[in-house]
Structure 1
Amino acid sequence: MPGLSIDTSSLRRYHSFMMHEKLPHGKLAVKLIALDLDDTLLNRDLTISPRTVSALRAAAARSIFVVICSGRAESGILPFVRRLDIAGLQTGRYVIALNGAVVFDLHTREPLLSKKLDGNVLLEIFREAEKRGLCAQVYSASTIYASVDTKWSHLDSDISGLPLKVVDDFPSFLKRGYAKMLISADPKDIDDFIPFLREKFRGKADFFISKPFFLEVMPPDCGKGEAVLYLAQKLGIARSETMAFGDSMNDESMLRMTAHGVAMSNGLPQIREAAAYVTRKSNDEDGIADFLEAFVL
C-alpha cells in the first residue's frame, strides 16, 4: 500500500523470537541423542564446554545413548568422544561418521554400517569439477586424500583434524570407491555447480552444502537421519524416543527424521524452520546443555 512503512528490523526480531519459542511443553522421553559437531556440540573454539560435557555424561548415565553424528571421518570424531569420556559405557560406544555413511562401534572397533560411492561415479563427478577448475578430496577413516594442495584442502584438514595427503594419480585412486567426496571452492562456484550435479547424477549420488565453501558428495539415500534411525532400530529404540541436535544443511535429515529434532539458535534459518524445536541459546552459550537440563534430564 502507498505510504505503508514496514520496520524490517522488527520483523526480523519477531521471526527470531518465534523460532526461539519452538520449545517442548514438558519433559521428553528420549533414549538416543545424536549430536552434530561443528557449530552445534562445539563452540567457536572447537571445544566442548564443561557444562555440556556434564549434561551429556548425565544423559549417558541415565541409559540414554549419546551419539556424535558428524561429517568428519571416525578419527576426526574420536578426540571429542574422549572429551565426553563416555566411550567405555554401553551408551557411549557408537559414533556416526561421514554424514551417515559409517556407523561405528567403538567397543568392537568395527562398522555396523558402511556405504560408499561407486568409483566410476566419483570419477565422473571429479571430471565435471575439473572442467570448472575445482578441486576435490576423499576420505579414509584417518586420512584426507586430495587431488591438489590448496587452501581449501588445508582448511578441511584443519577443521577435521585429519592429515592431508595429495595423490598423484587421483582419477585412478577414485576408482576404489569412497564414502564421501568433498568439492571445495568459493561459495558462488559451489552454488552454481550444485544444480547441475543434482540433475546429472540423480539417483547415483546425493549432494549438499555443509559450509558455504564445502560441497559434499554422498552415496544415494545416505544421510545422518537414515544412520540415526538405523542405529536406533539396531538398539531396539523407537523413533519416538530419538533426538538430534544440528545447525546446518547436512543435519536436516536427522532433524526431520528423529522424533525430536532440535536446531541450534545459531543454525541456518531453514534448519530452525525444519526442526521441531530450537534451543534458547547458541553453541557458544551451552545451548545443548540448557535444552537437555530443561527438557530431558
Structure 2
Amino acid sequence: MKLKPRIIAMDLDDTLLKHDLTISDHTVNVLQQCMSRGILVALASGRAPEAMYPYAKRIGIDNRKSYIVANNGSQILISDTRELVYERFLPEDIAIEAFRLTVAAGLSCHIYDDTTIYVSRETEYSERDFRLSGLKPVVPDDFEEVIRRGVYKLVIPGHPEFVTPVEAEFKVLFRDRATVFVSKPFFMEVLPLNAGKGEALQEIAETFLGFSAEDVMAFGDSMNDESMIRYAGLSVAMINSRKEILDLAKFITDRTNDDDGIADFLEKNVL
C-alpha cells in the first residue's frame, strides 16, 4: 500500500542535496510529480533563507505557495512571496553568555542574517560556511552588538575534538533555557528553547493547514533533523544518516543523497 503524505519536508545538506550541493533532474521531476498530485513540498534547513532560495527555485516552489523552514526552525517563510510568518529569537542574555563561554573555550562564533555571516574571527570554518551557504563572512567591530540586534541562533564551528566537550557543557548549562546540538560534526548550534524543525513543521501542518502529524513526511540525516523526524508520522532517514536518526525514523531510504535517495523512496512508496 502506498503512503499518502499531504506534506513532504526535506532537509538540504546530505539529504536532498548531493555532496556537490546540487539536485538531480530526476529528483526535481519526482518532486514535481508529487506537487502535481496536490502534495505540498517544503524545505527545512539550518541555512538562512537566502541560502535556501536557489534550491526552492530548483524544485519549483519559488513560484507556488509552499513553506521554507530556515535557521533550523527559527523562521518560517511562505516560499513564493518570501513573507516571514513565524520567527523565534534566541534570548539576548543567553546568546551573550554562550558567546562569551565560546570565546573562553578558544572557539569562534557565527551569526546569520539574510545576506551575511557575522563571525567573531575568521577561521577555516568561516570559509567553509561561505562555500556551503554563499553568504559572505564579516568580522564586526563588536560581535555582542550584533547579538543585541536579535539573533535566531549561534553556530559554534570547530573540530569535533574541541566542539564535543563544549556541547556537553552547554547541554547542562542551558538545559532549561536553550536547545543545543551538533548539526554537523564541525558545527554546534544554540537555538531558542523548543525551537526546531519539528516545532516549525508542526506549526505549518497543524496551525497553518489544519493537518496532523500523520499527514507529514519528513526526510533528514542529522541531529538538527531529530525534532522533525520525531514529529512526522511518516519519518524517513537517509541511509547515510547518523545512527541516532536511523534508529528514530519509521522508514529508511535504500539509496544515499548522492544516488537520488529521496526520489527513489518517493517513487517506490508514494507515486
Query: Do Structure 1 and Structure 2 share a fold, with TM-score over 0.5?
Result: yes
Deviation (angstroms), 1:87: 2.2
1:118-133 pair list within 5 angstroms = 118-133=91-106
RMSD: 1.1
1:46 correspondence with 2:21: yes
- Aligned residue in 2 for 1:292: 266
- Aligned residue in 1 for 2:115: 142
What are the superposed Cα offsets for residues 25-68 of structure 1, whole Å, 9 maximum, x if unpaired? Answer: x2111100000000100011110011110111111111111001
CA distance in 2, matches of 1:125, 1:210: 17
1:88 correspondence with 2:63: yes
CA distance in 1, matches of 2:81, 2:54: 18
1:258 correspondence with 2:232: yes
Contact 1:147 1:168 (C-alpha < 8 Å) held by counterparts: no
Deviation (angstroms), 1:125: 0.5
The ranges of structure 1 where at least 4 consecutive aligned residues each deviate by more than 3 angstroms after the TM superposition are none
Deviation (angstroms), 1:108: 3.4
Which of 1 and 2 has greater Rg? 1
Contact 2:61 2:79 (C-alpha < 8 Å) held by counterparts: no
CA distance in 2, matches of 1:58, 1:166: 44
1:213-252 pair list within 5 angstroms = 213-233=186-206, 234-252=208-226
- Aligned residue in 2 for 1:73: 48
- Aligned residue in 2 for 1:35: 10
Contact 2:53 2:62 (C-alpha < 8 Å) held by counterparts: no
Task: Tell me the TM-score normalized by structure 1.
Answer: 0.89
- Aligned residue in 2 for 1:267: 241
Deviation (angstroms), 1:89: 2.1
CA distance in 1, matches of 2:113, 2:240: 30
* Unaligned runs of at least 5 residues, structure 1: 1-25
Deviation (angstroms), 1:237: 1.8
Contact 1:122 1:177 (C-alpha < 8 Å) held by counterparts: no
| Among 60, 66, 71, the residue aligned to 2:35 | 60
- Aligned residue in 2 for 1:5: none
- Aligned residue in 1 for 2:156: 183
| Among 142, 153, 162, the residue aligned to 1:169 | 142
Local SS of the residue matching 1:179:
coil
* Unaligned runs of at least 5 residues, structure 2: none
Deviation (angstroms), 1:172: 2.3
Deviation (angstroms), 1:195: 1.4
- Aligned residue in 2 for 1:279: 253
Amino acid in structure 2 at the alignment position of 1:96: V
